[in-house]
Structure 1
Amino acid sequence: MTVDMNSSAKEKAKLKWACRRGMLELDVLFMPFVDEAWEQLSEDNKQIFERLLTCQDPELFAWFMGHEECEDSELRSMVELILNRVKV
């Protein structure tokens, strides 16, 4: 059980590092999301979030600010999930 907790903590630490972006606007969305919602996500949604983090900052910024709509339905749903959590 300690191994699982340790690997989970390492996974979360890696994820938080990946959340550090070149744009403060993205940092303030991603960091709290990982801190507050990561554990409750399904495995599928965790993978989608990790895939979202591989996108370039300018396109992420455009999606989150509503300037463009992501064509990938899974990523678009994750963007909406994150934005809905921020609005609460």
Structure 2
Amino acid sequence: MEISGIISAIVIGVIIGVLGRLVVPGRQRIGVLWTILVGIVAALAGAALAHALGVGDTKGVDWIKWLIQIGLAALGVAALDRAKSRR
């Protein structure tokens, strides 16, 4: 992976993480760094899942891929928040 790919993964991860955090209701007890990490993982996993489903590359905006990524980020944020609240 080139440096431009890493930088774009971080930027997309930040956006996906923030959007995923906005979808989860209530206050989350995780930090910004965790949100970014969850967003990066969700962006990569969501892109792989979208490509596996055949909706990864469409003409125009890849809305289905974005929805998959945001949904995975919301699940990740909620799971991490739940794990931190049990401690």
- Short-chain TM bin: 0.3 to 0.5
Give the TM-score normalised by structure 1.
0.38
